[in-house]
Amino acid sequence: MSYIVPIAPYHPSLEEPVHARLVTDGESITDAEVFIGYNHRGIEKLAMERNFIQTMVLVERVCGICSHSHALTYAMTLEAIGGVNVPKRGQYMRVIVAELERLHSHYLWLGIALHIIGHDSLFMHSWDDREKIMDILELLTGNRVNYGMVTYGGARRDITKEQADQVLQMLHEIEESNKRLADFLLADKTVALRTQGVGVLTTEDAIRIGAIGPHARASNVPVDVRLDAPYSSYDDFDFNKCVYPTCDVFARVVVRVLENFESIKIIRQALDSMPAGKVNLGNKIPTIKPGEYMMRHEAPRGQLSYKVVTNGTEYNERVSIHVPTFKNAPTIPTMLRGNSVADAGLIIASIDPCFSCMDR
């Protein structure tokens, strides 16, 4: 007999509100729908009433986990309209914080995924490493969340030799820990039973639906804005796209673990070849000529896009934000079909959703 099983909008295994409607035959999911829009905050409307510097603070609050990504993408869009060249040192500082944020986000997601699987000891190890990353973010920016590192024309703060040494020490610890984590995840039977062959999103379906970021790369789709359309000096660094062919929840775990190594590699290169000079062009509220531009950035969850329209004053005419979760959420019904109800929470969480971003 067919039954309708509602998951959420509030559910113990999901940290934010989303509603999945499952059509089941016994324990098997035969069809599914996903409903969003439970957390709307009107940030795009608020941005029309604030100047550029105030908006920089506002868009950081779109999401706590990827706050730097939002501020960075907004700033790069304004800079493109204004024809501003950010100092090289400022670009490198932006990259360092962006990759630290990626590490933080991936460790956060890995911990939550392991908790849903039921592997709480490894969840605590993952979040212990996350704490080290957040301590370094606090060291560099003054905050563990909403870093306030980006300003129009560069970065707000520079890095000292002592801080750089502390970052390198943390990276060494995280790298060794990530190696142990990778070895364990690849060999552990519990992880394999809960993730391998679960929530499959084929390469064809990922391309058809438009998946992006680590979610797409776990379905063997080689997309990464940092390499496909380099920005903020990403073309100065040597790193790889991390793809995996199995297209299941296990692949999504593996891709994020592999990306941790690549982020560590990028930060080391940025610190080793940090250019001399200033990190910004000053912190005055700019007046930008009328224009419009769209900028892309590879946030921890995938491509984040901002389109900004200016009118010649110090205020936005329009700010349009396109977040990765909105692109990845439509893949959820496809992944749920053919799986068991018990795996629904893990499959939904496997896209690394941020409904705070999506319902901005």
One digit per residue, the tens of pLDDT, for the chain of length 360 reads 677 877 777 655 556 677 788 888 888 888 888 888 777 778 888 989 888 889 989 999 888 888 999 999 999 999 999 888 999 999 999 999 999 999 999 999 998 888 888 888 888 888 899 999 999 999 999 888 888 899 988 999 999 999 999 999 999 999 998 898 888 888 888 888 888 888 899 999 999 999 999 999 999 999 999 999 999 999 999 999 999 999 999 999 999 999 999 999 999 999 999 999 998 887 677 778 899 999 999 999 999 999 999 998 888 999 999 999 889 988 988 998 888 888 888 888 888 888 777 777
* Alpha carbons 163 and 141: distance in angstroms, whole number: 11
Residue 19: predicted pLDDT: 79
Strand order in the sheet with 28-35: 2-7, 19-25, 28-35
Q: What CATH topology corresponds to 39-355?
A: Cytochrome-c3 Hydrogenase; chain B (1.10.645)
All structural domains of the chain with their residue ranges? 39-355
Model confidence, pTM: 0.92
Nearest to 175 by CA among 257, 250, 243: 257
Residue 22: predicted pLDDT: 80
* Alpha carbons 340 and 336: distance in angstroms, whole number: 8
Other Cβ atoms less than 10 A from the Cβ of 119: the count is 20
Nearest to 34 by CA among 204, 172, 209: 209
Residue 341: predicted pLDDT: 84
* Alpha carbons 38 and 94: distance in angstroms, whole number: 32
Residue 10: predicted pLDDT: 66
Given the structure tokens 């995996």, which residue do they identify?
Answer: 244
Query: What distances in angstroms separate CA 289 from CA 7, 79, 293, 311, 317, one per listed residue?
Result: 48, 11, 12, 7, 11
Given the structure tokens 């996350």, which residue do they identify?
Answer: 130
The sign of the torsion formed by the CA atoms of 208, 209, 210, 211 equals: negative
Q: Are 80 and 61 in contact (CB under 8 A)?
A: no
Residue 219: predicted pLDDT: 94
Residues facing residue 292 across a β-bridge: 309
Residue 14: predicted pLDDT: 57
Cβ neighbourhood burial of 63 (10 Å; 0-12, 13-18, 19+): buried
